[in-house]
Structure 1
């Protein structure tokens, strides 16, 4: 049965003006020129040193306004960063979170029609994540939810998909360690963007030594919070926990340790590798 829920930890930042596409193309990791109305892309804003700042799903309307679905709590930070780059361009950057609600739909059976069907778009990261919608607040009541955010969160975790700063540390994390490359969040041939040189170097020189991977408590107990150390059977550091949902979570693990018996705060962990990531490891 199709599951639908509101994604209430995400907000919307709008980017409008005649130079909006040019501005975003020079800043973000993906190619926004390839996003058409009704479609979507996934990308990030980085520091000049190639470190993570923000991730977002990008859509646009027929009038050329871009909508960045980002972390709601950090939307003001994203706006401040974009406004610095937008100075003297005529591009307007605004927080539109109060005007829209974000929904996800997944596990769709064949022939299923979603409410307000023309608004939904396929999640560009993974087919397993289903569809996404940015719905004007006045129409949000037409969408009947039958799932909880925790249901979606477990799906996201099992798919090894990061959720912004719940999994990536601003100004410290690199994208390839956190699967952004495998999720289609980087356009390798688009040319320059902020942080491009460092990101490309990691990719072409094969410098990835860690990956964000799904883990589960073998005993079914709740996992420790973000930052808890993951060790191997000899007590040597193998990585650390990131976002969790009950007995499931994501851990940033050293690749050479991913196949070993691992422990976090006394809980024995079961590590899994989604199929799309296997060719990256």
Structure 2
């Protein structure tokens, strides 16, 4: 498989995504005080990346959010949804806002390459990264130059597509979108997962849950570890929090840990890893316990810029 899979003309279903709907006259005000992104910059023609944190600034979830009528739609990994939904409901009891798991109402797809014969006319697709369009009851979110997320109404007939969870995850990893699971909730601050680099944090919006920790890390430059995208080979697929080692002379020392890994070819494995920001990228990396494994850092594709701070 081509390591740059986003340029291939394919339609992939993405059932791993879930949807939270926020409805009510207090929805925007309440979410503005909860999320890392600035909803005041969000109109109905765009979407925003964001994070939802606990009081210590540790992430419950990362999501893509947009307006749907008077409501807000948050799209996130289904594994992160239950706890995120429970926390939102817990803190919203004195506000006129209702949160529901809306996942069953939508069928998510990734459109790659955009020249697939089953893709609707390009005129219905968003033209710029961060744009949102509506088409036949569905929402199109432009994630990158050759990638669109399509939320199709579950009432409509399923689209012709391939079922390939590994491919969908690799695309997200190439876009720099952090993938983590329920067991890793409340482990990482947003900057560790590069949310500041994909426009998912506003440092101008004012107070929100976890803001003190996030702002301190930003203004004092204390982010010592960040997520990196690695590609390599190993016999056993790494699991979450497996140790990554780097070679120091004739020895191997701990460098970091696996955030998420997926095998998208018979031999190739893609990994999101938490590693020191000053790590020598020219040195070899391996998974602890798999001496024959070998991984190298790879550049990620351009996606959203800091829309929270400038473009809107």
TM-score w.r.t. length of structure 2: 0.79
Instruction: Report the counterpart of residue 144 of structure 1 in structure 2.
Output: 160
**Is it true that 1:171 corresponds to 2:182 in the alignment?**
no
Number of the residue aligned with 1:49: 56
Q: Distance in 1 between matches of 2:146 and 2:202?
A: 21
What does 1:117-136 align with in structure 2 at a 5 Å threshold? 118=135, 119-123=138-142, 126-128=143-145, 130-136=147-153
CA distance in 1, matches of 2:105, 2:300: 35
- For residue 90 of structure 2, give the secondary structure of its aligned residue in structure 1: helix
Q: 8 Å contact 2:14–2:110 — kept in the other structure? A: yes
Counterpart of 1:197 (choices 198, 201, 212) is 212
Check if 1:95 corresponds to 2:101.
Answer: yes
Q: 2:72 aligns with which of 32, 46, 66?
A: 66
Q: Deviations over 1:219-248 (max 9, x none)?
A: 464542221111111221100112111111
CA RMSD of aligned residues (A): 2.5
User: Per-residue deviation at 1:189?
Assistant: 1.0
After TM superposition, the runs of 4+ consecutive aligned structure 1 residues lying more than 4 A away are: 109-113, 219-222
Measured after TM superposition, the shift of residue 152 of structure 1 is 2.0
Match of 1:114 among 110, 114, 120: 120
Does residue 1:270 correspond to 2:296, yes or no?
yes
Q: Is the 8 A contact 1:222 1:248 kept in 2?
A: no
Task: Using the TM superposition, give the Cα deviation of residue 195 of structure 1 relative to its aligned residue in structure 2, in angstroms.
Answer: 0.6
Decide whether the 8 Å contact of 1:29 with 1:185 is kept in 2.
yes
Shift of 1:56: 1.2
Q: Write 1 or 2 for the structure with the bigger share of helix.
A: 1
The aligned counterpart of 1:86 is 92
CA contact (8 A) 2:259 2:272 kept: yes
Kept after mapping to 2: 8 A contact 1:55/1:164: no
Unaligned runs of 5+ in 1: none
Q: Which residue of 2 aligns with 1:184?
A: 199
C-alpha distance in 1 between matches for 2:239 and 2:164: 21
* Cα shift readout 1:157-188 (whole Å, capped 9, x = no counterpart): 2333212437x921221111111111111111
Matched, 1:261 2:284: yes
Secondary structure of 2:198's aligned partner: coil
1:59–1:212 Cα change, 3 Å: same
Cα distance change of structure 1 residues 258 and 136 upon mapping to structure 2, 3 Å threshold: farther
Task: Please list the CA deviations of residues 226-281 of structure 1 after superposition, one character each: whole Å capped at 9, or x if unmatched.
Answer: 2111111122110011211111111111122241221212212112233659xxxx
CA distance in 1 between partners of 2:301 and 2:85 (Å): 35
Task: Report the count of equivalent residues.
Answer: 271
1:214 corresponds to 2:229: yes
